[in-house]
Structure 1
Amino acid sequence: MTAERGTEDVDEVDIGLHSDTARAIGFSDAVFAIVVTLLVLDLRVPEVAPGGLLRALLDQWPVYLAYVTSYLYVAVNWLNHKGTFHRVRCADRGLHWANLGVLFSVALLPFVTALVSRAVEKGDAYDERVAVTAYAVVGVVLSAAWLWLYHYLSRHPELLQAGVTSRFFEAERIRAALGVVAYAVAGLVGWVNVPTALVVLLLLPLFYGLSSNGTYDLRRRVRRRR
Structure 2
Amino acid sequence: MSTDTGFRDELPGVDRLLTLSDGVVAIAITLLVLQLNVPEPAKLTDPASASELATQLGKGADSLISYVISFYVIAQFWLVHHRVFRRITGQREGLAWWNFAFLFTITIMPFTSNLVGKFSANPLAVDIFAVNLLLAILATHLTVTYGHRKNLLTAESPREMQVAQARAAASAFVIVLSIGIAWVNTGAAKYCWLLLAVAPQVADRWSARRPA
TM normalised by structure 2 equals 0.82
* AA partner of residue 179 (structure 1): S
Alignment match, 2:104: 104
Sort the Cα spacing of 1:138 and 1:8 in 2 relative to 1 into closer, same or farther, 3 A: closer
Distance in 2, matches of 1:62 and 1:73, equals: 16
Give the counterpart of 1:152 among 146, 153, 156: 146
Alignment match, 2:126: 132
2:88 equivalent to 1:95: no
- Is the partner of 2:119 in helix, strand or coil? helix
Gaps of 5+ in 1: 1-6
Sort the Cα spacing of 1:136 and 1:11 in 2 relative to 1 into closer, same or farther, 3 A: closer
* AA partner of residue 35 (structure 2): D
2:34 equivalent to 1:41: yes
Contact 2:28–2:107 (CA under 8 A) maintained in structure 1: yes
Alignment match, 1:28: 21
Alignment match, 1:4: none
Contact 1:105–1:142 (CA under 8 A) maintained in structure 2: yes
Contact 1:151–1:169 (CA under 8 A) maintained in structure 2: no
- Is the partner of 1:160 in helix, strand or coil? coil
Gaps of 5+ in 2: none
2:196 equivalent to 1:204: yes
1:92-128 Cα offsets, whole Å, 9 max, x none, are: 11111111111111112111111111113xxxx4xx2
Q: Which moved more, 1:25-34 or 1:88-97?
A: 88-97
Sort the Cα spacing of 1:114 and 1:76 in 2 relative to 1 into closer, same or farther, 3 A: same
1:158-215 Cα offsets, whole Å, 9 max, x none, are: x234xx338545753443344334322211111111121111112214535x69xxx7
What do you get for the CA RMSD once the two structures are aligned? 2.7
Contact 1:67–1:113 (CA under 8 A) maintained in structure 2: yes
Distance in 1, matches of 2:75 and 2:35, equals: 17
Aligned length, in residue pairs: 201
1:14 offset after TM fit, Å?
4.0
Contact 2:167–2:199 (CA under 8 A) maintained in structure 1: no
Sort the Cα spacing of 1:144 and 1:9 in 2 relative to 1 into closer, same or farther, 3 A: closer
- Is the partner of 2:35 in helix, strand or coil? coil
Contact 2:14–2:90 (CA under 8 A) maintained in structure 1: yes
* AA partner of residue 114 (structure 2): A
Contact 2:95–2:143 (CA under 8 A) maintained in structure 1: yes
